[in-house]
């Protein structure tokens, strides 16, 4: 996910994603070349912009037209105070970046200082043909064909006192309905994401209004999950609290939106870890191997709930908010364990999730605290977490296994029921010497992915999963 914080010292977009066409930094159409290539390798499926909190103070007209003529504006948010925004990176640049890296575009409309009309005009600018005012403006600005932006959010964290445009549940439910109504009048094919959270008292009025007149005006309800943690074992258990939270929201959706024709899915459109010791400087935290294990655990949860979770966006892509998989300075970049987890689960995984069970020891993780949520106690966290997926077209079975144990390897017998395995495979392992190992500019490979060949005799086989590791077993196999 991209968020246009704009604050120079955070470098979330300016200086990292965008350097401009006149910059001495190597670039492609103004996008920093090394960041572009790293993002393309990461292969995100969808990117959200302009936020996040900045979305609720951002006026899209400031970011279109010739760059030298765009106004310099102020984005007053709680997190970044009064930040000067050059508007060099706007709608055209965002869509161009997404197309270069092969990602869908997800635009978040301004509810805090905006209006339904402003949001509808943005949809018109991006998606309409013909000679309407804003489609003509787009053509004048160099794009004759519509952008066809499919995903549109209505505000961000509007339930929070920190957000510009904060309102109560009933007011937001009415507001989201009005936004969605006029936006769909411009383009009825768009998908609408409304602001949800961990609280039923917020989500219920929104979902109830979503079915008014037997017409669902939203397609997704969002939820944001950030985790503070005190120790290693609580951190790697956090995804299980997320799974409970997602399941609870899905139960409410099923109870309120009863019709199968009116399915509302979950959009986890912000999630990450938040280092407790970073305090007010959490935006500058360095991620370690244990954060990579947390990320892999979140992927397992989302795959297990793939019928209910339709969108997920890590916050952010680069440097900030609270951290991104790609970390840059003026000259170079390195990738952290979250990036490596994305590489592992993006390029070595199947397209169909299978049932997988484990018989393994467990531990007591204590109370898990998500930012803004009530602590949940997790007293039975298995040391191993297994995810099984298959790509039938390529004849590959993928077993992703997280060994959460900090000190002990896990020797396991693996039984593949209903599959005929061929006699070779590959093991991809994300690991490092310690759970606190981290990459940096001087040592970019402290945490890395290693590979080795698997020799399989067919049927059941054994494998030793190293402590504090994520392993992806890529097996040539076909259903019996």
Rg of the chain over CA atoms, in angstroms? 23
User: CA 155 to CA 405: how far, in whole Å?
Assistant: 40
Angstrom CA distances, 467 to 169, 289, 433, stand at 45, 12, 10
pLDDT in tens, 326-339: 999 889 999 999 99
User: CA 402 to CA 382: how far, in whole Å?
Assistant: 10
If one counts every other C-beta atom within 10 angstroms of the C-beta of residue 280, the result is 6
Question: Averaged over 49-77, what is the pLDDT?
Answer: 92
SS3 content of the chain, % helix, strand, coil (to 5): 30, 30, 40
Longest CA span, the chain: 67
What are the beta bridge partners of residue 109?
154
Name the residue ranges covered by the structural domains of the chain. 27-352, 353-479
Quick check: 92 pLDDT over 60? yes
Percent residues over pLDDT 70 in the chain = 92
**272: Cβ–Cβ under 8 A, 6 or more apart, which residues?**
226, 227, 314, 315, 321, 322, 323
3-state secondary structure of 408: coil
Secondary structure element (H or E) that encloses residue 33, with its range: helix 33-42
User: CA 469 to CA 290: how far, in whole Å?
Assistant: 9
3-state secondary structure of 469: strand
The counts of H helices and E strands in the chain are 9, 25
Angstrom CA distances, 372 to 188, 273, 357, stand at 34, 13, 32
Q: Catalytic amino acids? A: 157, 270
Quick check: 10 pLDDT over 90? no
Quick check: 256 pLDDT over 80? yes
Backbone angles phi, psi at 422, to 5 degrees: -90, 170
Quick check: 178 pLDDT over 70? yes
CB contact at 8 A, 242 and 301? yes
Beta strand spans in 5-66 (E): 27-28, 31-32, 46-49
pLDDT in tens, 270-309: 999 987 554 444 456 789 999 999 999 999 999 999 999 9
Give 389's Cβ-side CA count (13 Å radius). Answer: 23
For 27-352, give the CATH class: alpha beta
Residue 7: per-residue pLDDT: 45
CB contact at 8 A, 197 and 223? yes
Per-chain mean pLDDT for the chain: 91
Residue 9: per-residue pLDDT: 47
Question: Averaged over 155-178, what is the pLDDT?
Answer: 96
Quick check: 442 pLDDT over 50? yes
Pairing assessment for the beta strands 27-28 and 151-154 based on DSSP bridges:
unpaired
What homologous superfamily is domain 353-479 in, according to CATH? Golgi alpha-mannosidase II (2.60.40.1180)
pTM (predicted TM-score): 0.94
Question: Could you tell me the pLDDT band of residue 8, with boundaries at 50, 70 and 90?
Answer: very low
Residue 176: per-residue pLDDT: 95
- The distance from CA 72 to its chain's CA centroid, rounded to whole angstroms, is 29
Give 112's Cβ-side CA count (13 Å radius). Answer: 26
Closest by Cα among 475, 345, 452, 470 to 398? 475
Residue 12: per-residue pLDDT: 83
pLDDT in tens, 342-386: 999 999 999 999 999 999 999 999 989 888 788 889 989 999 999
Percent residues over pLDDT 90 in the chain = 76
User: CA 466 to CA 404: how far, in whole Å?
Assistant: 9
What are the beta bridge partners of residue 411?
464
């Amino acid at each position: 996910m991209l968020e246009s914080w704009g604050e120079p010292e955070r470098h979330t977009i300016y200086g990292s994603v965008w350097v401009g066409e006149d910059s001495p930094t190597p670039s492609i159409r103004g996008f920093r070349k090394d960041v572009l290539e790293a993002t393309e390798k990461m292969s995100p499926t969808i990117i959200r912009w302009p936020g996040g909190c900045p979305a609720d103070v951002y006026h899209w007209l400031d970011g279109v037209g010739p760059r030298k003529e765009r106004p310099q504006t102020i984005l007053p948010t709680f997190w970044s105070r009064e930040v000067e925004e050059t508007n060099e990176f706007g709608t055209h640049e965002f869509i161009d970046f997404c197309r270069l890296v092969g990602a869908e575009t997800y635009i978040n409309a301004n509810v805090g200082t905006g209006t339904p009309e402003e949001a509808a005009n943005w949809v018109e600018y991006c998606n309409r043909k013909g000679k309407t005012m804003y489609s003509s403006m787009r053509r004048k600005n160099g794009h004759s064909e519509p952008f066809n932006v499919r995903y549109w959010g209505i505000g961000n964290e509007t339930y929070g006192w920190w957000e510009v445009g904060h309102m109560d549940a009933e007011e937001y439910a009415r507001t989201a309905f009005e936004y969605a109504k006029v936006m769909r009048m411009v383009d009825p094919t768009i998908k609408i994401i409304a602001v949800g959270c961990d609280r039923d008292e917020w989500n219920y009025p929104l979902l109830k209004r979503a079915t008014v007149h037997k017409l669902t005006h939203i397609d997704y309800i969002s939820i944001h999950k950030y985790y503070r943690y005190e120790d290693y074992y609580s951190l790697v258990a956090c995804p299980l609290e997320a799974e409970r939270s997602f399941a609870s929201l899905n139960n409410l959706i099923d109870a309120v939106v009863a019709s199968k024709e009116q399915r509302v899915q979950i959009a986890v459109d912000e999630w990450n870890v938040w280092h407790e010791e970073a305090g007010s400087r959490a935006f500058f935290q360095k991620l370690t191997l244990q954060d990579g294990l947390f990320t892999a655990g979140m992927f397992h949860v989302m795959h297990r709930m793939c019928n209910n979770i339709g969108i997920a966006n890590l916050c952010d892509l680069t440097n900030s908010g609270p951290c991104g998989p790609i970390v840059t300075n003026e000259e170079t970049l390195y990738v952290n364990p979250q990036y490596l987890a994305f590489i592992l689960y993006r390029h070595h995984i199947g397209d169909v999730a299978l049932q997988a069970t484990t018989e393994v020891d467990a531990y007591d993780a204590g109370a898990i605290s998500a930012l803004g949520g009530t602590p949940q106690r997790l007293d039975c966290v298995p040391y191993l977490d297994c995810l099984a997926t298959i790509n039938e077209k390529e004849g590959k079975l993928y077993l992703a296994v997280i060994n959460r144990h900090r000190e002990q390897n896990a020797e396991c017998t693996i039984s593949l029921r209903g599959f005929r395995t061929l006699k070779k495979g590959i093991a991809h392992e994300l690991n490092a010497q310690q759970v606190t190992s981290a990459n940096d500019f001087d040592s970019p490979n402290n945490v890395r992915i290693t590979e080795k060949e698997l020799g399989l005799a067919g049927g059941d086989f054994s494998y030793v999963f190293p402590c504090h590791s994520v392993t992806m077993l890529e097996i040539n196999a076909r259903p019996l």
